Amino acid sequence: MPRIKLFDENEVLTKAMNLFWKQGYSATSVQDLVSHLGINRASLYDTFGDKEKLFKKSFELYRKQSIDKICELFQNEPNVKEGFSRLFNGALNEALLDKDRKGCFAVNNTTELVPNNESCLDILSSNRQNFENLFYEYLKRGQKKGQLAECKDLKSLASLLFVIYNGILVVSKIQTNKKELTDSINVALSLLK
């Protein structure tokens, strides 16, 4: 007779994501996961596979949630400059309110795992490309509406905005002066004309 799972997989995956995000991959042991998730080792392995597979599933959940959130923001904000302002300032506010100062899970993974983990490099490269494509499509919509100059190199601008977005999440881990960070955001937003 098959065993019945007594836990919600999505809830456990979310807990795992938050633990990896806070502690990093290397600093999180299987015992940490078992204790934090409230499931036994057998259930963890049967449901999610080994630690690396659980980590990758956790990171995939983070990526999906991040992309979905930004897509929704961009769909609801027709003005490109205002959309990026809301994105950057929202990220800054979230980061400054985070008592754990976790920053960005993707950036944390990049600094911890690259270049030594080839499979993570592929995932992180894909993540960057997805974000840059999302930013590019939003910029293109704004350009068609006359919100950006026709001469703008939108691919390069999308790449730069991705760097700035991630930079906000990194710098806010050590710089908590909101005015200084907001001033930097405003300089970046001045490129959107």
- Give 77 or 121, the one with higher predicted confidence: 77
What distance in Å separates the CA atoms of residue 2 and residue 78, rounded to the nearest whole number?
Answer: 51
**pLDDT band, very low/low/confident/very high, at 1 (cuts 50, 70, 90):** very low
- With tokens 């904000």, the residue in question is 77
Task: Give the three-class secondary structure for 6.
Answer: coil
Letter string b/e over residues 11-34, b meaning 16 or more CB atoms within 10 A of that residue's CB: ebbbbbbbbbbbbbbeebeeeebe
> What pTM value is reported for the model?
0.89
Q: How do residues 75-98 score in pLDDT, each as one tens digit?
A: 999 999 999 999 999 999 999 999
What distance in Å separates the CA atoms of residue 160 and residue 150, rounded to the nearest whole number?
Answer: 18
pLDDT at 3 over 80: no
Residues 185, 168 contacting (CB under 8 angstroms)? yes
Q: How do residues 137-191 score in pLDDT, each as one tens digit?
A: 999 999 999 999 998 899 999 999 999 999 999 998 888 889 999 999 999 999 9
What distance in Å separates the CA atoms of residue 12 and residue 47, rounded to the nearest whole number?
Answer: 10
Helices assigned H by DSSP within 77-177: 80-97, 105-113, 118-144, 154-171
pLDDT at 4 over 60: no
Dihedral pair phi/psi, residue 174, rounded to 5°: -120, -20
Q: How do residues 10-65 score in pLDDT, each as one tens digit?
A: 999 999 999 999 999 999 999 999 999 999 898 889 999 999 999 999 999 999 99
Share of the chain above pLDDT 70, in %: 97
Domains of the chain, with CATH numbers? 1-58 (1.10.10.60), 77-189 (1.10.357.10)
